[in-house]
Amino acid sequence: MYNTKLMLCLVFFIGWLISANPSLNAQDSLDISVKPDSLVYGKTPDEYKPYKNFVKPYRQFFIDKLQFHGYGRHIPEPNNIDSVKIGFIGPIIDKDSDPTGDLKNINLRVGERVTRWDGYKASHLAPIGKKMLQGAQLAIEQANKKGGYQGKIPYKLIIRNDNGNWRSAGRETIMLAYRDSVWAVLGTVDGANSHIAIRAALKAEVPVMNTADTDPTFVETSIPWAFRCITDDRQMCYLLADFAFKKLKLKRIAALRASNRYGRMSIDEFRDAATRMGLPFITELQYQEGDTSFTQQLERIQSLNADAVITYGNVRESAMILKQMRDMGMHQWYLGSDRMVGDEFLKIIGKNHSKIAAAYPYDPKSDDTKYLKFLKDFKERFGENAETYAAHAFDGLNMVISAIEKAGLNRALIRDELAAMKDYDGITGKKEFDAIYSNRTPAMLAILKNGKFEFYSQEDIFSKETDISK
């Protein structure tokens, strides 16, 4: 009994000594004790803060810098390696990896009910995953043209398909970390899958850069190995809310969203903003992925005399909802997520549509020379136009490569370098990162005019010289 008490006292004393003495702290070599620039998480506007008229919060979360106090920074680089491996995980078309990481055809097609891969259904997210993969591949190829790691060793992208399934996302993250021995991972799409992937990464202690999941709660897990370089739905919903309530003066908004995590969580900040403005949704209806008829929901909305309809879901369903609205004589504003913005949406809805707006994570009409070069290189490499998921994957993987070049081949030190990035000047613009490693760059608003989307900043929307309300 005496020995047990003595041992416990010794353990507590050593713990106190380490925490009290900065010279014994493993993170001493890199200054990451950065104080938050603001005491407002997520740049929440005053009017959208919860309970703002009633009480001040006694505690605010997610404003202190996430830190990793664990093991691993002392581990030396391995010798005699022939490549520096970076993992890719996402829902992709016709591609999976064998144990060596080489691509193979698995006869996976979007729209098939069951695939030959793992017995799961084909993923509706596969078009997003494919673009993500192409952006990552281009970043790897360009890094290798410059000589690779330290100008000597080529980078290698290890590709694993999670099929848009959370079970697969966890399994493939584990495979990348332990079997493939990657130094970092890029992926994946959708909140449910990404949440599982970063929990697996937490256990494996491998950095994950997310470039496609806009779920606001992704970083609220407080996992110090998780990073995100795409503007999230918190920022996009704030902009949509400003446009709807302050610019258009809408008062009766109905929601029709996908019955999944993306639809539920991504619309959340707009829903909360509406409630805090005293203008809650007049109804919030749902549909299942793959639905083709929305008549029942739209008839309900029509009977309520809604000023506008907001949707959060995939591009196909979002476009079909709009077509059916217009066929029913519903010509009010139609608001939606960034997944609406693209050629597929325009192809489905046809011509002569107006009063359509969606939030978007960056300005795709930028004339920045780096961005224009990326568009040209992407078109030459893949014969297709780049879009948001390709562009953000390109930026995200270049952030990872930059961290590897500075840190060396050590996962913990790579994590530290990513954590030290307060901002990053990428092809999608300058990114500003908060205390929990999420990009807080303001969103853009996409408005459909004359058959194409035009993009506006917050300042543009409220400029007296800009008339975008019709």
**How many Cβ atoms from other residues are within 10 Å of residue 9's Cβ?**
10
Q: Would you state the structure tokens that stand for residue 103, as one six-digit string?
A: 């691509």
**Residue tagged 């449910």 (tokens):** 192
The label of the residue with tokens 């303001």 reads 442
CATH no. of 84-231+367-439: 3.40.50.2300
Using a 10 angstrom Cβ sphere, with 0-12 exposed, 13-18 middle and 19 or more buried, the burial of residue 181 is middle
In the predicted model, residues of the chain with pLDDT beneath 70 are 1-39, 93-122, 464, 468-470
CA angle 76, 80, 86 (to 5 degrees): 75
Written as six digits, the tokens of 269 are 């900040």
Q: State which amino acid sits at residue 334.
A: Y
pLDDT of residue 18: 45
Q: Give the Cα separation of 422 and 433 in Å (integer).
A: 5
Q: Give span(s): CATH 3.40.50.2300, the chain.
A: 84-231+367-439, 234-360+445-461
Geometric angle at alpha carbon 353, from 351 and 355, rounded to 5°: 160
**In terms of C-beta density within 10 A (0-12 exposed, 13-18 middle, 19 or more buried), how is residue 376 classed?**
exposed
**CA 350 to CA 24: how far, in whole Å?**
65
Q: What is the CA radius of gyration of the chain?
A: 23
Alpha helices in 27-165 (DSSP H): 126-145
Q: Where are the alpha helices (DSSP H) in 294-355?
A: 295-303, 315-327, 343-349
228-282: per-residue pLDDT in tens? Answer: 999 999 999 999 999 999 999 999 999 999 999 999 999 999 999 999 999 999 9
Angle at 387 between CA 382 and CA 392, to 5 degrees: 100
- Between β-strands 429-432 and 423-426, what pairing exists: parallel, antiparallel or unpaired? antiparallel
Identify whether the C-beta of residue 178 lies closer than 8 Å to the C-beta of residue 157.
no
pLDDT at site 34: 41
pLDDT at site 348 = 94
- Per the CB < 8 A criterion, the answer to whether 436 and 222 are in contact is yes
How confident is the model at residue 386, as a pLDDT? 97
**Is the bond preceding residue 295 a cis peptide, omega within 30 degrees?**
no
What pTM was computed for the model? 0.87
Phi, psi of 254 (to 5 degrees): -105, 145
Among residues 145, 176, 174, 183, the alpha carbon closest in space to that of 159 is found at: 176
Please tell me the distance from the alpha carbon of residue 307 to that of residue 409, in angstroms, as a whole number.
55
Give domain 234-360+445-461's CATH superfamily. Response regulator (3.40.50.2300)
Measure the CA–CA gap between 328 and 324, rounded to whole angstroms.
6
Phi, psi of 449 (to 5 degrees): -135, 125
